[in-house]
Amino acid sequence: MKIPINQWSKDDRPREKLLQKGVVALSNAELIAILIGSGNRDESAVSLSQRILKDAENNWHRLAKLSLKELMQYKGIGEAKAISIVAALEIGKRRNMSEALERKEIRSSRDAFELLAPNLSDKNIEEFWIIYMRKNTMSGVEKLYQGGLDNALVDIRLLLKRLLEKDATAFIMAHNHPSGNLKPSKSDKDLTKKIKGATDYLNLHLIDHLIIAGNQYYSFADHHEL
């Protein structure tokens, strides 16, 4: 039998716990429970949140991939609650992106990954992004293409045009693998080779090509494939 949250010990109530102990004291499920406010006839908000997280393998990236429709499949999650979850996850992504943009300098593949991950880690379709550079300083970030589930079609001529318009001397490119597989495909390698050949001719330095899948990445530069 479900015990309503208002009958729990005060230490176990998410809102009260936040007020008394601070937000860091809350579990992931308790944070979501605060967003949704209530559960259903059989589950408290915390129990329902625990089940949702379990189905997402307790992985924020997997949870962020769920659509409103998929979240609303859970009993007790209506449109308003689903919107609250999606909005909160998007706020987290934008905060991470903002912090990464403030750093300006890109000195490693990890720096580039941390900058782009908020936009690429959770996508269900493939996207192609560029970080424009002048020396080690970032001068801009841009999504150039959005493709299907398996590939993003990249127009190399447009890429060259954008690099020149941005007055970039170097760049980092990245795309995501929604499948979760980090291994570069033959088309990934062929595209990298073509772009490097075209940009070398214009004295534009391709620093790296990242493949991002969830909270992991593959760096062509780190693997000496540039």
Domain 105-219 has CATH 3.30.70.20: no
Rounded to whole angstroms, the Cα distance separating 206 from 188 reads 15
Which pLDDT band holds residue 5 (cuts at 50, 70, 90)? low
Closest CA to 53 of 34, 33, 37: 33
For residue 78, the tally of other CB atoms under 10 A from its CB is 12
Segment 117-141, tens digit of pLDDT:
888 887 888 899 999 988 778 888 8
Specify the pLDDT at position 80: 92
pLDDT over 60 at 108, yes or no = yes
Give the burial string for 40-71 (b: 16+ CB within 10 Å, else e).
eeebbbbbbbbbbbeebeeebbebbbbeeeeb
Residue 112 has pLDDT above 70, yes or no: yes
How far lies 161's CA from each of 132, 164, 183, 199, in Å? 12, 5, 29, 11
Q: Quickly count: other Cβ atoms within 10 Å of residue 206's Cβ.
A: 20
Edge to edge, what strands does the sheet with 205-213 contain?
Answer: 137-146, 127-134, 170-176, 205-213, 216-219
User: CA-to-CA distance for 67 and 86, rounded, in angstroms?
Assistant: 8
pLDDT single digits (tens) 54-107: 998 888 878 887 889 999 999 999 999 999 999 988 888 777 666 656 666 788
Retrieve residue 28's tokens: 């992931």
**Average pLDDT estimate for 153-178:** 89
Using the 8-state DSSP alphabet, how is residue 207 labeled?
Answer: E
Rounded Cα–Cα distance for residues 121 and 157 (Å): 27
Question: How far, CA to CA in Å, does 153 sit from each of 97, 156, 207?
Answer: 25, 9, 21
pLDDT mean across residues, the chain: 85
Cα separation of 146 and 154, whole Å? 9
SS3 144: strand
- Sketch the domain layout of the chain as residue ranges: 7-94, 105-219
Q: Say whether pLDDT at 11 is over 50.
A: no
Distance CA 34, CA 131 (A): 37
Taking the whole predicted model, whether its pTM rises above 0.75 is answered as no
Statement: residue 152 has pLDDT above 80: no
Q: Give the pLDDT confidence score for residue 170 in this predicted structure.
A: 94
Instruction: Count the Cβ atoms, other than its own, within 10 Å of residue 207.
Output: 18
Residues 152, 120: Cα–Cα separation, whole Å: 13
